[in-house]
Every structure is written in structure tokens, then in C-alpha cells.
Amino acid sequence: MKSIEAKIVVLGAQGVGKTSVVIRYVGKLFSKHVSPTIGASFFTFKMTVDDYRVKLQLWDTAGQERFRSMAPMYYRKANAALLVYDITCRESFENIQSWVDELKKNVEGTIIMCVIGNKTDLASRREVSREKAEQYADSINALYYETSALTNDGIQEAFLQVSLSLIKLSQTDKSSGLTVYDGSASLLNADGIIEDGMHDMNNHRRRTDSEDSNTPACCS
């Protein structure tokens, strides 16, 4: 079995649910009271796909304007970018397009892009049609998923597809910058790291649980 380690950056306007999507995936829960991210938060996650152990290092960035200048730090070495927008907010979709332009201009290697339309639970207030978004995603050669962090819709699929694309990339493009471990010695090594990741993840879960009960509402 091979192991692969990939860096993923999550980008998007503020309040579209970047942190909620990540916490839903990594921590398997949803909280209405997620505090706006300060700077960027770091998560790790591991999974097994197609005979590959995949370890994801996730940078969940803050959507606020003042942190925008910090973004290159996170996407520069990323293998994949999740571009999250809010389907009930046209502006946030336009924001994705400016991120894509920035990535194309500044990222040298191949970067897998996945456009995510979040908040499908609020479909009655939808401002961006699925067709339009899919069309756009096609035009930039990106994956497209609609998700809901609240109902846990589409998130597993999105991450699975991103991981599959990463594996494919590591097979076809040797200069992709993806770390691939082969053979038993390095596998052991990789395992060690992966277990750390799992441990971290469990911590987050419990922490976010307690957060539910005592934080004031401040979702934006």
C-alpha cells in the first residue's frame, strides 16, 4: 500500500462556511456557533482510498479582507484548493472567481481545484444556479460539488473526489510536489504521523462539542 501526503487550502469569502465544512468533515459535527476564523487554522485528516493511505493537511483560511494578503502563504505549496461559496450569496460566487484568477497567476505547479457551493439547506434563497456554477467549474477545469455542512450533504463526496484526483495526479505528474511514500520502511514512518493526526482530530471533536453550549451566536 502506498501513502500520500497532500496539502489542501480552503479559500472563499467570509461567512460562506469554510470552517463549518472542514469541521463537519474532520470532526463529524456541526455547530451553529462557529466563531470567524482568525488568520488560518490547521487540520489534519487521514483516509484510505483505492489502496492508498491519504493524509490531508488542511489550511482553513479566514475569509476576512484583512487576512487576504496572507493567503499566498497557504496556497503557494498547496496540491488542492477548495473554493467555497454560499449558494445564497452571489457576491461570494464572484469572490471565487477572483481567487481562481489569483491561483492561476501565482501557483506554478498543478493545483487541483474544487468549487463548493455550500448551504444547500437554504436552497429556497438560492442566488447562484447549479448550472451556472457547474458551467464555470467546467470552464476552469475544476470539480464541482454542492454541500450542506448543516445536513452533512455532499461533503464526503467532495473530499473523496479531491483525494482521488490527488492520487491520480501523483501517478501522472511526478513533479506535482505531492509526497508519496512507497515501501514498508517509510510507510511505518508515515503511519506514525497519521496517528498523530487522528489523535488531533478526536481532540477537536470534543472541544467543539463543549463550544456548542457556551459560545454566543456569532456566525457570519
Partner 1 sequence: MAATAEVTLPAQQLPPAEAIVEVTPDDMEGSAPGASEDHMLIAAESYEDINVAIDEQYQRGKVGDEKDKGKNEIEQSVRKLSIDDRSTTPSDEGRETPKEEVSAEGKERSNSMLGNRDRPQHVEEECYSPEWRQRQKHVFILSEAGKPIYTRHGNEDKLVTTMGVMQALVSFVQDNDDNIRFMIAGSHKFVFLNRPPVILVCVAHSAESTQQLLLHLTYVYNQIISVLTFSQLSKIFEKKRNYDLRRLLTGTEKFLDNLINLMDRDAMFLLSAVRCLPLASSIRDIIGQSIAQAKAKDLVFAILVGRDNQLVTVVRMKEHSLHPADLHLVFNLVDASTSFQSAESWTPICLPKFNSNGYLHAHVSYLDEECSACLLLLSADRDVFFELSEARQKIVTRLNKYGCLQAVRESLSKGSYKVAQIGIPDLRHFMYKSKSTAQYTSSELEAPYMEEGERHRLFGMYQYLHHRVHNSARPLKILFHVGSKETMLGWITSGFELYATFGPLVTKPAAINAINKLLRWIKKEEDRLFILNSYTY
Binding site for partner 1 (CB under 8 A): 14, 19, 23, 27, 33-43, 60, 62, 64-67, 70, 73, 203-204, 206-208, 210-211, 215, 218, 220
- Shortest Cβ 18–partner 1 spacing (Å): 12
- Shortest Cβ 203–partner 1 spacing (Å): 6
- Shortest Cβ 26–partner 1 spacing (Å): 8
Closer of 45 and 52 to partner 1 (Cβ): 45
Please say whether the beta carbons of 39 and 112 come within 8 A: no
SS3 state at 25: helix
* End-to-end Cα, the chain, rounded Å: 43
The helix (H) or strand (E) run that includes residue 117 is: strand 112-118
Closer of 102 and 211 to partner 1 (Cβ): 211
Please say whether the beta carbons of 154 and 117 come within 8 A: no
- Shortest Cβ 62–partner 1 spacing (Å): 7
- Shortest Cβ 141–partner 1 spacing (Å): 30
Cα 43 versus chain centre, distance: 10
174-181 contacts, C-beta under 8 A, 24 or more apart: 175/109, 176/79, 176/109, 176/110, 177/77, 177/79, 177/109, 178/4, 178/5, 178/6, 178/79, 179/4, 179/5, 179/6, 180/2, 180/3, 180/4, 180/5, 181/2, 181/3, 181/4, 181/5
Closer of 135 and 202 to partner 1 (Cβ): 202
Closer of 36 and 104 to partner 1 (Cβ): 36
Partner residues linked to 45 by β-bridges: 56
- Shortest Cβ 160–partner 1 spacing (Å): 22
- Shortest Cβ 162–partner 1 spacing (Å): 19
Closer of 14 and 186 to partner 1 (Cβ): 14
Which one, of 139, 140, 160, 157, lies nearest residue 148 by Cα? 157
Residue 110 to residue 78: CA distance in whole angstroms: 9
Closer of 134 and 177 to partner 1 (Cβ): 177
Closer of 67 and 136 to partner 1 (Cβ): 67
